[in-house]
Amino acid sequence: MFNTDTILKSLNDVQGVHQSLIVGRDGFVINSMGDMEADSVGAVISTAIGAIEAMGRDCKQGGLFEVMAEYNGGVVIAAPIGKEAVLGIVADESANLGGVRFVVKKSMKELEKVM
Amino acid sequence: METQKILDIAHVSFLDIIRASIVQLGAAATKGMLIRNAMATAEKIPEVSFDTLDEFVASIDIAGNPVTQVEGKAVHYGKGLFGLPSCPFAPSIGDYKSVYGGLPEDYHKITEDYNKQGPVTGALKVGHGAGVSPFCAVHQPLRGALKDRIRIGGNPISILQLGCKSGSGEKGLAQQWIDETDFTAAEVEKVLDDNMCCYAIKVEA
């Protein structure tokens, strides 16, 4: 049986991932696993996903599945879990992006069931 | 020539920033930002101690406690039940309405989100029905977080948001927090007849 702990652990087990977290749409952390300051990461992920959704809405692109931001040091992936929460993943440059996105997609189905 | 009112443009801008944030980031993220800002402000306020609840109440007259300093003078109805006659955001709302004629339509989205059950509003004992405007998402968490800056008789305190009243007279009650006090919903409503905000302070053993 899945729960948010097991799902976050499976995400953190992917090479290069060092933080995974579930936050409410208001940015307050529901659950997190990793070595970062989850409260501040959660706050920026919720505002980022809100802004990206607004961009999709204004550009008439429909609902958002996932957003990935690439930086010098790695990537941040965020994906809405229904209307109330967001999954966030932080990975370094050693991560295989295709592998991370595959696990995120698989985890989303599990998260939608347990949330 | 008649003297005209001078607007506080900071008031108007603040309310416009909230409106823009709802459109650009969503109501929930905006609410979260307002709550986090309020909690951060509370953390910056120096801690104070009072020997008794009566001493705390006496300090209201001279704004000698952090709650009064951020919201104005409340009325004590006994046994830790307080009513606040004026909403601290009333001047901002008044200035905004004088320009735009009313508050932005999207504001109700923050109020609705703020009243949902949530871990942070639960820990602060605010919202949960007591929100009547977006400004409650600033004022109530700020006051609620001040519980960590005040001790009475050497003990920690709880500040419970029991109810609030909008400018149009609509009352919102937080039954969950009322149930944690010795007061009834009818008593809270009565306090709100003469006040905009009603809360309780409990000294923890």
Q: What is the pLDDT of residues B129-165, one digit of tens each?
A: 999 999 999 999 999 999 999 999 999 999 999 999 9
Chain A residues within 8 A of B35 when measuring between CB atoms:
26, 28
CB contact under 8 A, B29 and A27: yes
What's the order of all strands across the beta sheet hosting A85-92?
A29-34, A17-24, A85-92, A74-81, A67-71
Query: Measured between CB atoms, does A50 come within 8 Å of chain B?
Result: yes
ipTM: 0.88
Distance CA(B19)–CA(B96), nearest Å, equals 12
Please check whether residue A114 touches B, CB under 8 A: no
> Positive or negative CA dihedral for B120, B126, B127, B132?
negative
How many structural domains comprise chain A?
Answer: 1
A28 shares contact with chain B (CB less than 8 Å): yes
Closest residue, chain B, to A53 (C-alpha) = B25
Chain A contact for B40 (CB, 8 A cutoff): no
Structural domain range at position A12:
4-114
Under the banding of pLDDT at 50, 70 and 90, the label for residue B1 is confident
Facing B24 at nearest CB: one of A25, A28, A51: A51
In the 8-state DSSP scheme, what is residue B165? Answer: E
Could you tell me the CA-to-CA distances from B44 to A28, B34, B37 in Å, in that order?
Answer: 20, 16, 11
Average pLDDT over all residues of chain A: 93
Taking residues A71-83, what's their average pLDDT? 94
Give the CATH number for residue A100: 3.30.450.30
Contact call for residues B130 and B172 (beta carbons, < 8 A) = yes
CA-angle at B152, arms to B150 and B157, nearest 5°: 60
Residue of A nearest to B24 (CA): A51
Task: Check residue A21 and give its pLDDT.
Answer: 96
| Nearest-5° Cα angle at B32, B29 to B36 | 140
Interface check for B109 against chain A (CB to CB < 8 A): the answer is no
Query: Which residues, listed in sequence order, are joined to residue A67 by a DSSP beta bridge?
Result: A78
Answer yes or no: do A28 and B32 touch at CB < 8 A. Answer: yes
**% residues pLDDT > 90 (chain A):** 77
- Give me the pLDDT at residue A43, please: 95
Is the pLDDT at A85 greater than 80, yes or no?
yes
The reply to whether residue B118 touches residue A47, judged by beta carbons under 8 angstroms, is no
Chain B neighbours among A 7-26 (CB < 8 Å)?
Answer: 24-26
Quick one: what percent of chain B has pLDDT higher than 90? 95
A15-31 burial code (b ≥16 CB/10 A, e <16): ebbbbbbbbbbbbbbbe
pLDDT value at A2 more than 80: no
| B123 at interface of A, judged by CB pairs closer than 8 A | no
SS3 B48: strand
- Residue A87's pLDDT band (cuts 50, 70, 90): very high
pLDDT digits (tens, 9 = 90+) for B39-85: 999 999 999 999 999 999 999 999 999 999 999 999 999 999 999 99
DSSP B147: G
Q: Does A27 touch chain B (CB under 8 A)?
A: yes
